């Protein structure tokens, strides 16, 4: 039987709990101030950063579950922060984009989000942050390569 490492040494577990801790800490701020949960903020952040896109594109960009994306979009639409428009190239899908109110809220959230980011990541030097970004990109590329081969 292979020697199975303890969970505390298992990198995917460590990455997940660290990501959850960072996301939750930042989320507490925008939930209290703006009434946004993590999926809703991620949708707003992606649309604010990248502009209009379909829900399918958003699932690919965020690697979030399509049901979570759909729910977040509905909440944001009901609040008047996101609008849908028909996709001219595809009669079935819709483009999502921030409304004027959504762009204003995004503009208020971003400085607070970056301030919290700076507080959290002050624990590691800028060159270490860059190295971490590069390592995470390599890990993500590895997953993408496995997926391209059909998961084998």
CATH number of the domain enclosing 50: 1.10.10.10
Domain assignment present for residue 98? The answer is: yes
pLDDT tens readout for residues 67-87: 999 999 999 999 999 999 887
Domain assignment present for residue 143? The answer is: no
Report angle CA 133, 109, 13 to the nearest 5 degrees.
40
Count of the separate structural domains present in the chain: 1
Reference 28, options 95, 138, 96, 120; nearest CA is: 120
Domain assignment present for residue 59? The answer is: yes
- What is the pLDDT averaged over residues 14-21? 93
Domain assignment present for residue 134? The answer is: no
On whether the pTM is more than 0.85, the answer is: no
pLDDT at 90 > cutoff 90: no
pLDDT at 152: 61
**Torsion of Cα atoms, 93 then 98 then 99 then 105, to 10°:** 150
Q: 42: which residues sit within 8 A by CB, 6+ positions away?
A: 62, 64, 72
| Residue 66 structural domain | 7-121
């Amino acid at each position: 039987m292979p020697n199975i490492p303890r969970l505390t040494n298992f990198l995917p577990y460590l990455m997940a709990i660290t990501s959850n801790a960072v996301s939750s800490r930042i989320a507490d701020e925008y939930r209290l101030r703006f009434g946004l949960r993590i999926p809703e903020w991620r949708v707003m952040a992606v649309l604010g950063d990248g502009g209009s896109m379909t829900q399918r594109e958003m699932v690919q960009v965020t690697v979030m579950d399509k049901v979570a994306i759909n729910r977040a979009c509905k909440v944001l639409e009901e609040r008047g922060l996101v609008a849908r428009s028909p996709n001219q190239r595809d009669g079935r899908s819709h483009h999502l984009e921030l409304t004027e109110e959504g762009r204003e809220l995004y503009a208020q959230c971003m400085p607070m989000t970056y301030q919290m980011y700076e507080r959290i990541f002050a624990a590691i030097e800028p060159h270490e942050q860059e190295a971490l970004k590069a390592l995470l990109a390599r890990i993500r590329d590895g997953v993408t390569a496995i997926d391209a081969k059909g998961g084998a």
